[in-house]
Homo-oligomer: A and B are copies of this chain.
């Protein structure tokens, strides 16, 4: 029997999720829900967002593909009341409060939410947890080269900025020091490459203001490039990304160990969608075991990513 899937939100991630669901023979894509009337590129039926309630009993799991900035905090509780859900919420400072709030709601309504599901947070969180548990030390994470939405948004809030995008680039020196286990606290981990569209007259001030934005750019090696709208459109379409989690430590016996995990991808939304789709089986396993509530990837046993015979034979095939 196929698992019935709904997708909420039809931006980059929603489109990637649609193709991934359609390609999976265990899944049946019932509907896409969108606040704007859209036509799906693959002929999936699209409903206005608010119609989701009509699909109780027809959809098993909703993939929430809206953005962390404005969609997910509103949509997740609305939909979770009626459906099991997976979202990719990644606003770090709100993760714990959302986990508590949505966990309570999920338990009350007897549903399951897997939240913060993706490569970071998500896969990288899992790797950091293993490394921390084994080494007793905090791993170091590098991102890029790739676009950071948060940093791009921060630039766009500067007065006079018409549009902007920011590429995060790991500092090769910092990566080297991290791998050697000798990274001092005060070495910047990343370079910030900013591309900005703005009027000539504002550019000098804007560059200065960007470099002073606390938490985002201040104290970090930042370059600001002013480009045309056409150039910016091209840059904003770059979906590649990379990341790395590095632990270099000594065991309590004093013997050196290195653990290194890296991912690189041509398309961030396609890779993220592949991870979201993999956790559909986890929802099925949670439900089968009578569990409800909010879960992150840290709460899910790796074996829950498999079902049936494949799950039973995991110990022979993957151990």
Contact = CB atoms under 8 A, between A and B. Distances in A.
Interface of A: 16, 19-20, 23-24, 92, 95-96, 99, 116, 121, 123, 125-130, 132-135, 239, 251-253, 255-267, 270-271, 273-275, 278, 281, 296-303, 305-306, 313-316, 318-319
B134 A126 contact: no
Contacts of A16: 253
Given A266-B256, A315-B298, A130 B126 contact: yes
Contacts of A96: 313, 315-316
Q: Which 10 residue pairs are nearest across A and B when measured between Cβ atoms? A: A133-B305, A23-B252, A255-B266, A255-B267, A133-B278, A129-B302, A121-B319, A298-B303, A253-B270, A125-B319
Contact of A262 (B123, B130, B252, B260): B260
Contacts of A315: 95-96, 99, 116, 296, 298
B130 A302 contact: yes
A205 B263 CA distance: 47
A303 to B, nearest CB: 4
B270 A134 contact: no
A261 B258 CA distance: 11
Contacts of A130: 123, 126, 278, 302, 305
Given A257-B264, A298-B314, 10 more contacts: A19-B252, A123-B130, A126-B130, A129-B303, A130-B302, A133-B302, A135-B274, A239-B255, A256-B265, A300-B301
A278 B134 contact: yes
A132 B135 CA distance: 26
A238 to B, nearest CB: 13
A264 B258 contact: yes
Given A129-B318, A296-B315, A298-B302, A20 B252 contact: yes
Given A278-B133, A305-B133, A95 B316 contact: yes
A198 to B, nearest CB: 32
Contacts of A278: 130, 133-134
Nearest to A271: B257
Given A260-B261, A278-B133, A316-B95, A271 B255 contact: yes
Contacts of A319: 92, 95, 116, 121, 125, 296, 298
